Structure 1
Amino acid sequence: MPVKPDILKITPATKSRLFQVEQIELRFSNGVERTYERLANKGRGAVMIAAIDEAQNVLLIKEYAVGLEDYLLTLPKGLIDPGEDAFQAANRELKEEAGFGAEHLTFIKQMTSAPNYMGHKITTVLAQGLFPCRLQGDEPEEMEVVRWPISQLDELFRRDDFSEARAIAALYMVREQLQKNE
């Protein structure tokens, strides 16, 4: 098993309103030294919610994705606030973004995105036993909710407006979990 490199120094490189870039100076076990850059890991992580209604539909939201400059279908998600655990954050985000709460929440998996460049983690949660409940969130506009049959996920995966890798991975795992529960 490889030996983790020694962290020699961490230096803030640049900062914006949302992001901070750090330079990390490392020394590997073979003596080689390198400087890497990463987005600083701030906060308590995030949650992504696969909410399944009684008719076996997943609740998707249509959200503006500034990185792609377009609206995309995705799963509700958001940051874990101070004092919350992943389940509390998942239920709050579901209420804010989709207008539903959940009676039953199940941990699916904690995932990373681009771990070579950032330490961000997102916890995928399955939400069931849905009931109408809306909380005011921090979104600039109300999001359209789209119900998609779990039985037709392969069709959803082929759509150009459903492309977020984390959401696709989450729905594969949720579909498998639901099949096990049958």
Structure 2
Amino acid sequence: MSRTLPVIHRIEEDDSGMYRVEYLDLEFGNGERRRFQRLHGRGHGAVVVVPMIDEDTVLLVREYAAGVHRYELGLVKGRIDAGESPLEAAGRELKEEAGYGARSLVELRELTLAPTYMSHSAHLVLARELYPERLPGDEPEELEVVPWKLDALHELILREDFSEGRSIAALFIAREWLRKEQR
């Protein structure tokens, strides 16, 4: 079913804090009017990197997650700096967080975080042909690098210390992309 997008009658903005908040006065096709909020992050977007140390093994990093106040396993991820492409940002973040460079970087797709109220998205990048190389990053401590076999994702997704949705989605997307490529 194809629907016409709601009409935006007015947008008010609050440009303070970490996000810019927009208040949308909307009218839907059935005549219903509502006020929605939309968050816009600061910056130029984000990357989530799936670093493959070999054809069957991904590298995860364990880092402090302030939002849940624990150490969390996840993929390499970070912001895209001004003037960087998603692939350049992925290569830099991989060196900063995991201590590896990649000879092959492929953008698989874009992921949204919460599209019903946020504009935030992250570029999912597959990194292969890894080699040791470290850049200084903004992390307060060196991150632990944890290799994980793709055929054991069923175990990883049940761990309490692996809960970040982008990392979970990215691993399944990358695994399916790799399987398709091998056919």
TM-score w.r.t. the length of structure 2 is 0.91
1:1-182 matches, cutoff 5 A: 1-13=2-14, 15-16=16-17, 18-54=18-54, 56-182=56-182
Counterpart amino acid of residue 115 in structure 1: P
Deviations 1:119-168 (A, max 9, x none): 11111111000011111112222211111122222111111111111111
Mapped partners of 2:135, 2:81: distance in 1: 15
CA RMSD of aligned residues (A): 1.6
- Percent of residue pairs identical: 47
Structure 1 pair 20/59, CA: closer, same or farther in 2 (3 Å)?
same
Paired residues of 2:61 and 2:143 also in contact (CA < 8 A): yes
Q: TM-score, normalised by structure 1?
A: 0.92
Q: Which stretch shifts more, 21-30 or 70-79?
A: 21-30
Work out the CA distance in 1 between the residues paired with 2:125 and 2:78: 12
Query: Given residue 101 of structure 1, which amino acid in structure 2 is its aligned partner?
Result: G
Moved over 3 A (4+): none
In the comparison of the two structures, how many residue pairs are matched?
A: 181
How far apart are 1:42 and its partner, in Å? Answer: 3.6
Shift of 1:41: 4.3
In 2, Cα distance between the equivalents of 1:64 and 1:41?
Answer: 21
CA distance in 2, matches of 1:26, 1:3: 12
Letter of the 2:84 counterpart: E
* CA deviation string 1:83-135 (max 9, x = no partner): 11111111011111111110001122211111111011111111000011111
